[in-house]
Amino acid sequence: MQAGMQAGTQVGTQAVLRTAPQPAAQASSQERAQAAGGDGARKPRVTLVDVSLRDGSHAVRHQFTSDQVARVAAALDRARVPVFEVSHGDGLGGSSLQYGFSREPDTRWLRAAVENAPNAQVSVLLLPGIGTRRELKEAVELGAKVARIATHCTEADIAPQHIALAREMGMTVCGFLMMSHMISPAELARQARIMEDAGAHVVYVVDSAGALLVEEARARVQALRDALECEVGFHGHNNLGLAVANTVAALEAGATWLDGSLCGLGAGAGNTQLEVLAAVLDRMGIDTGVDVYGVMDAAEEVVKPMLPRPIVIDRDALVIGYAGVYSSFLLHARRAAERFGVEVRDILLELGRRRTVGGQEDQIIQVAYEIAQRGGARSSA
Amino acid sequence: MAVGVAILGSGNIGTDLMYKVLRNPHLELRMLAGIDPASEGLARARSLGVPTSTAGIDAVLDDPDIQIVFDATSAHAHLKHAPLLKQAGKVAIDLTPASVGPPVVPAIPREHDAWPDNISLATCGAQATVPIVYAIRRVAEVEYAEIVATIASKSAGPGTRQNIDEFTVATARALERVGGAARGKAIIILNPAEPPILMTNTIYALVPEVDPAALERSVQAMVAEIQRYVPGYRLKVPPLVGEAPDGRGRLVTVMLEVEGAGDFLPRYAGNLDIMTAAAVRVAEQVAAARQAPAA
């Protein structure tokens, strides 16, 4: 079975029409075709982006080997996934005591990915404040073609330097608005405009906490679709079991770049499961260009044997979605709970109450320490 | 006798600095110079009896009794100011990220080093964390130091936002050059929570081994030293000693917060307060050195 055998549904057509206007300040048609990952003649309507080797890095505590990267990259390439991302979970330069040291430098992972993917474009993630333009330049030299510049959803204005550099270097650039559940659709759209104005080809609604309900995901994508000329993307997490449903809602609201990962490998309860999404989109008649059997095989035969633990919605992952906490806090909170003799759930709920944002892993230690000082009560949540 | 000083820049930082200088018995504020006649900072200065000018640096250069000049303008402007101040024989204390002079953190003893004529204050993240790295360094070899500075979104102005790479790179360099770490890394995070959060800082250090009691004493002594000029500088988590991630050596973790004095800037903006407080502290030290008989 091949994907896209019934192209041209109502949804897919709308998605294309909505992205049609191309004012001078925005991407040229060629760039846009490149951004969509196609050759223009048979341009897929939706660009699927695999994040197994980036968001998945959180789930393996950044311990991928280049050999594993090479095998996943080759499998994704064979399955005709147009774009896949390779970086430390917290982006280029993320290797640190705060987030966990990488087993190997980003540069080695990138080299392994590029060498094993003759067709797919390799993406890198960069969080301004963690990584810098220097790492982005290195990544381009190694063959990265797509840059995703991520900020907390209210802080888009720390990204323009990085977006502009990525554009200058000829990359396809995505703005990545993390923790999108924390602000209203209208506020999110205002932030998205900052990224579009800086030169982003795509701006993403990123549900980092896996906290969005279906209607909330739809409303945010819709708000961006109405406010922007560029393409809109959606990146989901499955902490509330809604990742695929939210991604479909995002598509219906006009998102054309959709993220997923093989076996759902990612932070928290994992990402939108790519092979499931590919199958669902195929059933919906959406042309993604991806070989559905190919991604199923890549998940089952290549990634599944690498999993350190099953990617499931266990109690702690569910609390992350329920409390609206950054998904990659999960394993850090488990370690802190053990170290200080307190309950994981108490730490996570307190982090939600303090409105922590992505990257504040040090707060996990502080919260666990403070709960322990107060008597370390393992209370019921 | 108080030493004559001037402030360049009548924005938020310059205005906060004015209040701190006016309270300091060792410094005499002779001028607040801006370029915008409608500036609120200049109006406040006039109401407090501080001489003002809208001619920028020119008025400051013309006054021979001004010995020390705080530059609270912009990196771009400081690059123009630096040679003019040097030519006029004035010491520049630079609060911008221009990095003309070597980075300075006043809590760290200078031993026998003479003061340069251009003193570049290390970043706010460095002001808050480099002293702790130095305190760890007093009792252990620091192979690697990493800091995470989290500040309220509202306290991060356009200068910080447009130069975030420069901030992390400069802070990492200060961890090495001033703090004494063999390698440094800095991370900055903006948090938009309301009400705004206080500046919080986490310092991680990898050391081969360390005596926890000596570490605690060294860190506590440094916190007390900083509290002399930043009263709202507080330890949140005292030095924790754990195993390094690779199992070789120890990982030291220290967490602290910085509440501003609220002179003009809001209290949550500890990241800005620690800069103006450090600037005044350096000016005091320079003034004392100038008045001491030559050795």
In degrees and rounded to multiples of 5, residue A313 shows phi and psi of -90, 85
pLDDT exceeds cutoff 70 at A359: yes
pLDDT exceeds cutoff 70 at A232: yes
**Contact list, B185 vs chain A (CB under 8 Å):** 96
Which of B187, B237, B242 is opposite residue A96, by nearest beta carbon? B187
Are both B157 and B85 inside the same structural domain?
Answer: no
Cα–Cα distance, B160 to B275 (Å, whole number): 13
Alpha helix stretches (DSSP H) within B178-251: 212-227
Are both B211 and B255 inside the same structural domain?
Answer: yes
Q: Give me the pLDDT at residue A376, please.
A: 63
Which of A157, A359, A369 is opposite residue B189, by nearest beta carbon? A359
CB A45, CB A19: distance < 8 Å: no
B279 part of a folded domain: no
E runs forming strands in B96-165: 103-104, 118-121, 144-152
Distance from CA of A298 to the nearest CA of B (A): 32
**Nearest residue on chain A to B202, alpha-carbon basis:** A362
Of the residues B77, B124, B172, B174, which is catalytic? B124
CB B204, CB B147: distance < 8 Å: yes
Are both B157 and B96 inside the same structural domain?
Answer: no
Cα–Cα distance, A98 to A101 (Å, whole number): 8
**Mean pLDDT for back-to-back runs of 10 residues, chain B (295 residues):** 95 96 97 94 97 94 96 95 97 95 93 87 97 98 98 92 94 97 98 96 98 98 98 97 93 98 95 97 93 62
Cα–Cα distance, B272 to B121 (Å, whole number): 12
The total domain count for chain B is: 2
CB B26, CB B282: distance < 8 Å: no
Are both B129 and B217 inside the same structural domain?
Answer: yes
B37 part of a folded domain: yes
**Contact list, A369 vs chain B (CB under 8 Å):** 237, 240
Output the DSSP codes for A248-278: HHHHHTT--EEEEBGGG-SSTT-B-BHHHHH
Q: Give me the pLDDT at residue A377, please.
A: 53
Q: How confident is the model at residue A317 (pLDDT cuts 50, 70, 90)?
A: very high
Q: Give me the pLDDT at residue A8, please.
A: 36
**Contact list, B242 vs chain A (CB under 8 Å):** 339
Q: Give me the pLDDT at residue A36, please.
A: 44
Are both B220 and B132 inside the same structural domain?
Answer: yes
Helix, strand or coil, per DSSP, at residue A173: strand
Distance from CA of B195 to the nearest CA of A (A): 10
pLDDT exceeds cutoff 60 at A146: yes
Q: Give me the pLDDT at residue B294, please.
A: 53
Are both B70 and B149 inside the same structural domain?
Answer: no
Higher pLDDT, B129 or A42: B129
CA nearest to B178, candidates B251, B124, B102? B102
Q: Give me the pLDDT at residue B100, please.
A: 94
Q: Give me the pLDDT at residue B159, please.
A: 83
Average of pLDDT values for A27-56?
Answer: 66
For chain A, which residues lie within 8 Å of any Cβ of chain B, measuring from their own Cβ? 96-98, 100-101, 128-130, 132-134, 152, 154-155, 157-158, 160-161, 339, 354-357, 359-360, 362-363, 365-366, 369
CATH number at residue B53: 3.40.50.720
- Give the least confident one: A36-50, A101-115, A232-246: A36-50
pLDDT tens digits, one per residue of A330-347: 999 999 999 999 999 999
Average of pLDDT values for A163-174?
Answer: 98
B280 part of a folded domain: no
Are both B227 and B175 inside the same structural domain?
Answer: yes
Q: Is the Cβ pair B192, A97 closer than 8 Å?
A: no
CATH number at residue B214: 3.30.360.10
Cα–Cα distance, B293 to B24 (Å, whole number): 22
Cα–Cα distance, B151 to B157 (Å, whole number): 11
B36 part of a folded domain: yes
Q: How confident is the model at residue A318 (pLDDT cuts 50, 70, 90)?
A: very high
Which of B185, B188, B240 is opposite residue A96, by nearest beta carbon? B185
Residues 6+ apart with CB under 8 A from A169: A136, A137, A140
B143 part of a folded domain: yes
Are both B72 and B196 inside the same structural domain?
Answer: no
pLDDT tens digits, one per residue of A8-32: 333 333 333 334 333 334 444 444 4
Cα–Cα distance, A171 to A206 (Å, whole number): 20
- Domain residue extents for chain A: 10-18+40-306, 328-373
Q: For residue B16, give the amino acid letter.
A: D
Cα–Cα distance, B172 to B185 (Å, whole number): 5
pLDDT exceeds cutoff 60 at A285: yes
Q: For residue B110, give the amino acid letter.
A: R
CB A278, CB A254: distance < 8 Å: no
E runs forming strands in B75-198: 91-94, 103-104, 118-121, 144-152, 184-191
Strands A172-178 and A202-206: parallel
B237-to-A363, B200, B254 alpha-carbon distances in Å: 11, 11, 6
User: Is the omega angle on the peptide bond into residue A185 within 30 degrees of 0, that is, cis?
Assistant: no
User: What are A129's two structure tokens?
Assistant: 């404040």
Q: Give me the pLDDT at residue A44, please.
A: 62
Mean pLDDT (chain A) is: 90
User: What are A2's two structure tokens?
Assistant: 């091949």
Are both B127 and B260 inside the same structural domain?
Answer: yes
pLDDT tens digits, one per residue of B200-231: 999 999 999 999 999 999 999 999 999 999 99
User: What are A361's two structure tokens?
Assistant: 């892993």
| Sign (positive or negative) of CA dihedral A194, A195, A196, A202 | negative
Which of A157, A357, A369 is opposite residue B191, by nearest beta carbon? A357
Strand-pairing partners, residue A234, are: A205, A258
Residues comprising chain A, all counted: 381
Query: Which residue carries 């031993």 as its tokens?
Result: B111
Q: Is the Cβ pair B153, A154 closer than 8 Å?
A: yes
Domains A10-18+40-306 and A328-373 share a fold: no
**Contact list, B187 vs chain A (CB under 8 Å):** 96, 98, 129-130, 359
CA nearest to B75, candidates B151, B162, B156, B136? B162
CB A223, CB A215: distance < 8 Å: no
Cα–Cα distance, B42 to A180 (Å, whole number): 41
CATH class of A10-18+40-306: alpha beta
CB A154, CB A178: distance < 8 Å: no
B282 part of a folded domain: no
Q: Give me the pLDDT at residue B1, please.
A: 79
Q: Is the Cβ pair B161, A366 closer than 8 Å?
A: no
B288 part of a folded domain: no
B291 part of a folded domain: no
**Looking at domain A328-373, which of 1.10.10.10, 1.20.1250.20, 1.10.420.10, 1.10.8.60 is its CATH number?**
1.10.8.60
Average of pLDDT values for A357-377?
Answer: 91
Are both B11 and B131 inside the same structural domain?
Answer: no
Average of pLDDT values for A148-161?
Answer: 98
**Contact list, A357 vs chain B (CB under 8 Å):** 189-192
Residues 6+ apart with CB under 8 A from B127: B105, B121, B274, B275, B278
Q: Give me the pLDDT at residue B293, please.
A: 60
Are both B150 and B233 inside the same structural domain?
Answer: yes
A67 burial (CB, 10 Å; 0-12 / 13-18 / 19+) is: exposed
Question: Domain range for residue B62?
Answer: 3-100
Q: Is the Cβ pair B146, A100 closer than 8 Å?
A: no
Q: For residue B203, give the amino acid letter.
A: I
User: What are A124's two structure tokens?
Assistant: 């890198």
